[in-house]
Amino acid sequence: MSNTSEQHLHIVSFDIPYPANYGGVIDVFFRIKELHKRGVKIHLHCFEYGREHSDYLESFCHSVNYYKRETKVTKLFNSLPYIVCSRDCEQLRENLRKDNYPILLEGLHCCSILTHPDFQNRNVIVRAHNVEHEYYEHLSKAEVDAKKKLYLKQEVSKLKDFETVLYKAKAILAISQKDYEYFSEKYRNVYKVTAYNAYTEVDILEGSSDYVLYHGNLSVAENYSAAEYLVETFKKIDVKLKVAGMNPPQHLVKLIEDVPNVELIDSPDDQTLFDLIRHAHINILVTEQATGLKLKLLNTLFNGRFCLVNDKMVKGLDVNGLCYIVNDENAIRFAVGELMPRRFDAHQIERRRKNMKDFYNIEEATDTIIKLITEN
């Protein structure tokens, strides 16, 4: 392990990464913790738009700076994507010019810096959290509100055009094998660096329980669409389904009220959600979006018993021995029927532990970042 005691790094985050309570900021926050543990002095720069300043971040960072995200409606008519131009900030650039430390940009959201000539000779690395135009394409397809759908479609086109700015980055850190293959075809110096999360050790309860769990942020169209699909599927399965997540839309609430074997857990706190995942007999995760690495999948594999997924949830991932693939209602019905009578025993926990070591290597991911930021 290299000595990084004098290594400084600027990290520019699209949001305040604590509390670490949704996918993107979970990756950012636990990467900060891991780099701090290795002795890297982190200068954190966060865009703020609704989350509070966090004193806790100062435990891991040499300095923390906050910048207001410009969320005016006029930004929607900018030629740059809204998620980018709303984070285009001269004060941030001024702070970054004060030294020559390497810069890690969290997401395409923060990449307006790459359009400025001042930074063309800096060691600037980009963490690609998704193939953003693909991500927004899926969001637009799932969105039912006409105005939101129009915004998302416009953002897709702008993101496709803007993505070419990544040619100016010294390196790109892809989050999954699928994203790695996409970026490698177009750009140089692409590395696969897995998602960081709170869990690094398998901690699963032996035994069984009487319910299946689906969890996700239910205010996001992709997730509430998945929940609706599962509710309809479980109408035909005599097993309890629990659906847990933040801010479920009213139409989902009403749908679940009419299905006796489905229960909604509205906006559970972190501990409640963790307990639900651990005590479920089966965790089921489905998506229509085969981009990025879903952090809820990692959470489930470290802490949950049997795991059912569709192929898009794990596209580009080697999940052999970790999950059961279910791509339609019949497959879900069959898998639930097969797994509900089975205990999750010590042998299966040990097998999960071994497979997760091969699947998820945070030490290797951090080694890659440290190598990149220490190169001249």
Query: If you average pLDDT over residues 322-327, what whole number do you get?
Result: 95
Is residue 48 domain-shared with residue 159, that is, in the same domain?
yes
Is residue 135 domain-shared with residue 254, that is, in the same domain?
no
Read off the CATH number of the domain in which 277 is found. Answer: 3.40.50.2000
Is residue 170 domain-shared with residue 156, that is, in the same domain?
yes
Q: Which residue has the higher pLDDT, 86 or 317?
A: 86
Confidence of residue 60 (pLDDT cuts 50, 70, 90): very high
pLDDT tens for each residue of 63-77: 999 999 999 999 999
The dihedral region occupied by 68, where left means phi > 0, alpha psi between -120 and 50, and beta the remainder, is beta
Confidence of residue 4 (pLDDT cuts 50, 70, 90): very low
Our count of domains for the chain comes to: 2
Percent of the chain with pLDDT over 90: 82
Is residue 221 domain-shared with residue 122, that is, in the same domain?
no
Interatomic CA distance for residues 295 and 241, integer angstroms:
21
> φ and ψ at 242, to 5 degrees?
-105, 135
Least confident of 11-25, 226-240, 309-323, 350-364: 309-323
The pLDDT value recorded for residue 200 is 86
Residue 1 has pLDDT above 60, yes or no: no
> Considering only CA atoms, which of 221, 227, 272, 233 is closest in space to residue 253?
227
Cα–Cα distances in Å, from 352 out to 118, 323, 335? 48, 10, 18
Is residue 272 domain-shared with residue 317, that is, in the same domain?
yes
The pLDDT value recorded for residue 141 is 87
Is residue 342 domain-shared with residue 365, that is, in the same domain?
no
Helix, strand or coil, per DSSP, at residue 7? coil
Interatomic CA distance for residues 127 and 135, integer angstroms:
15
pLDDT tens for each residue of 264-281: 999 999 899 999 999 999
What is the end-to-end Cα distance of the chain in Å, rounded?
18
Interatomic CA distance for residues 29 and 196, integer angstroms:
8
Query: If you average pLDDT over residues 298-310, what whole number do you get?
Result: 95
Is residue 277 domain-shared with residue 167, that is, in the same domain?
no
Across 179-230, where does the E strand assignment appear? 190-192, 211-215
* Angle at CA of residue 94, ends 90 and 97, nearest 5°: 135
Interatomic CA distance for residues 27 and 127, integer angstroms:
10
The pLDDT value recorded for residue 291 is 63
Do 128 and 179 contact (CB within 8 A), yes or no? yes
Assess if residue 204 is contained within a domain: no
Query: Residue 68 is part of which domain span?
Result: 8-198+361-374
Assess if residue 121 is contained within a domain: yes
Least confident of 6-15, 21-30, 37-46: 21-30
Confidence of residue 2 (pLDDT cuts 50, 70, 90): very low
Is residue 167 domain-shared with residue 229, that is, in the same domain?
no
Confidence of residue 293 (pLDDT cuts 50, 70, 90): low
Cis bond leading into 19, ω under 30°? yes
Stated pTM of the model:
0.87
Is residue 274 domain-shared with residue 193, that is, in the same domain?
no
The pLDDT value recorded for residue 144 is 84
Assess if residue 1 is contained within a domain: no
Residue 376 has pLDDT above 70, yes or no: no
Assess if residue 186 is contained within a domain: yes
Confidence of residue 5 (pLDDT cuts 50, 70, 90): low
Assess if residue 205 is contained within a domain: no
Assess if residue 190 is contained within a domain: yes
The edge-to-edge listing of strands for the beta sheet with 8-13 is 63-68, 41-48, 8-13, 103-106, 124-128, 171-174, 190-192
The counts of H helices and E strands in the chain are 13, 13
The pLDDT value recorded for residue 138 is 87
Assess if residue 203 is contained within a domain: no
Confidence of residue 206 (pLDDT cuts 50, 70, 90): very high
Is residue 30 domain-shared with residue 48, that is, in the same domain?
yes
pLDDT tens for each residue of 127-145: 999 999 999 998 898 888 8
pLDDT tens for each residue of 210-261: 999 999 989 888 899 999 999 999 999 999 999 999 999 999 999 999 999 9
Q: Which residue has the higher pLDDT, 239 or 320?
A: 239
Interatomic CA distance for residues 297 and 305, integer angstroms:
12
pLDDT tens for each residue of 160-176: 999 999 999 999 999 98
Assess if residue 3 is contained within a domain: no
Is residue 245 domain-shared with residue 187, that is, in the same domain?
no
> Considering only CA atoms, which of 269, 285, 276, 270 is closest in space to residue 332?
285
Is residue 69 domain-shared with residue 191, that is, in the same domain?
yes
Interatomic CA distance for residues 52 and 70, integer angstroms:
16
